């Protein structure tokens, strides 16, 4: 299955309006009414996607001065195809000058035998704000995970802020101290254009200022609740 959803948020006077809202199953976008000056949209993925062979694309544009919060409603399950096909999901984001976007999807669960590639590309203006969070869960309870490759490519103005790619699903690598140290959940939180925060760390988590501006916080834990604790208040 191939599906492409698109969302365009623009400023209109003192509030943000949705100039374009195009949903295609299994990517469904539902605006929340009465959300004030900012626009709030919920992203709902079908319980059976992404399935092996699927190609899903979400495009988001936030215009000058617009404020958008795009959040998930339920966890995404990466499921295997009948013949071992790889599934793909791509999120393309552009935030214009003085715009603000919070993109906070729910966790992605990599089920047994799944083969999935997830890509986030974000172009953020030098005076804009962007906040995103990714939570990866290796398999359902008592299940060995399939394979996931996730990439993030973020620029601010013309300067690269973050370029990283991670592949999980190899039991030897996942159990090593160089990668996941046997933890089942990996969470990352990226903020571009927010307040400057110093480097910090704790047990299985760290916060690092980025050279081009922004902050990346990474957390490892046996469960999602524990993994998200370092992000409380962000």
- Is residue 1 predicted with pLDDT exceeding 80? yes
- Give the pLDDT confidence of 184-199 residue by residue, as tens digits: 899 999 999 988 889 9
Give percent helix, percent strand, percent coil of the chain, each to the nearest 5: 5, 55, 40
- Give the pLDDT confidence of 132-160 residue by residue, as tens digits: 999 999 888 878 888 999 999 999 998 99
| Mean pLDDT over each residue of the chain, to the nearest integer | 91
As a whole number, mean pLDDT of residues 56-62 equals 97
Q: How confident is the model at residue 47 (pLDDT cuts 50, 70, 90)?
A: low
Q: Are 170 and 144 in contact (CB under 8 A)?
A: no
pLDDT of residue 233: 60
At 224 the three-state DSSP class reads helix
pLDDT of residue 186: 94
Domain of 172? 2-231
Number of domains comprising the chain:
1
Residues 6+ apart with CB under 8 A from 150: 117, 118, 119, 120, 134, 136, 165, 166, 167, 168
Q: Name residue, tokens 């605006």.
A: 31
């Amino acid at each position: 299955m191939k599906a492409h959803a698109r969302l365009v948020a623009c400023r209109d006077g003192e509030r943000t309006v949705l100039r374009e809202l195009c949903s295609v199953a299994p990517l469904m976008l539902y605006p929340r009414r009465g959300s004030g000056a900012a626009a709030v949209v919920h992203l709902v993925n079908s319980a059976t996607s992404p399935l092996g062979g699927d190609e899903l694309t979400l495009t988001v544009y936030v215009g000058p001065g617009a404020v958008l919060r795009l959040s998930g409603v339920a966890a995404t399950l990466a499921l295997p195809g009948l013949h071992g096909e790889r599934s793909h999901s791509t999120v393309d984001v552009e935030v214009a000058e003085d715009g603000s976007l919070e993109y906070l999807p729910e966790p992605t669960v990599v089920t047994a035998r799944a083969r999935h590639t997830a890509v986030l590309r974000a172009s953020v203006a030098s005076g804009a704000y962007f906040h995103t969070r990714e939570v990866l869960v290796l398999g359902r309870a008592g299940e060995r995970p399939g394979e996931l490759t996730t990439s993030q490519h973020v620029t601010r103005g013309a300067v690269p802020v973050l370029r990283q790619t991670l592949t999980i699903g190899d039991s030897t690598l996942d159990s090593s101290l160089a990668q996941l140290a046997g933890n089942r959940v990996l969470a990352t939180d990226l903020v571009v254009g927010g307040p400057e925060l110093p480097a910090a760390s704790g047990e299985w988590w760290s916060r690092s200022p980025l050279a081009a501006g922004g902050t990346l916080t990474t957390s490892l834990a046996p469960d999602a609740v524990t993994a998200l604790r370092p992000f409380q208040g962000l």
